[in-house]
Amino acid sequence: MLKLSLPTVTNYYRPLIEHPRVMRVVALSGGYSRAEADALLAQNTGLIASFSRALTEGLSAGQSDEEFNATLDRAIQSIYEASTAG
C-alpha cells in the first residue's frame, strides 16, 4: 500500500495502481480544501482518499450533535464520491 500526495497530473499514479504487487494507492489531501482535494481525487482512476484533515474540515466543538453529524456525513459522502468517480 502506498500513501502519496494528490497528483496534479491526472492518472499520474496509474502505473503504480495497476502494478500487481501494489494493493492500494491512497492519496493524502495535502493541505487542499476538501472540495479541491475531492476534485483532484475524482480525476484519478483507482486512487482512493486518505483525507483525515479534510474529513474534519468544518467540524467544531461548538456545533450541536445534529450539526456535527450532518457536517461529518456530508464530508464522508463527498470523499466517497470522489474516491469512486475516477
DSSP, collapsed to helix, strand or coil, labels residue 16 as helix
Are 23 and 17 within 8 A, CB to CB? Answer: no
Are 79 and 50 within 8 A, CB to CB? Answer: no
pTM: 0.83
Q: φ, ψ for residue 57 (rounded to 5)?
A: -55, 130
pLDDT at 85: 85
Has residue 16 got a pLDDT over 90? yes
Domain count, the chain: 1
Structural domain including 13 reads 2-85
Has residue 86 got a pLDDT over 80? no
Are 3 and 26 within 8 A, CB to CB? Answer: yes
**Nearest Cα residue to 7 out of 28, 35, 22:** 28
Instruction: Let me know how long the chain is.
Output: 86
Tens-place pLDDT, residues 33-82: 999 999 999 999 999 999 988 889 999 999 999 999 999 999 999 999 99
**Residue 37: Cβ-neighbour burial (10 angstroms; 0-12, 13-18, 19+):** buried
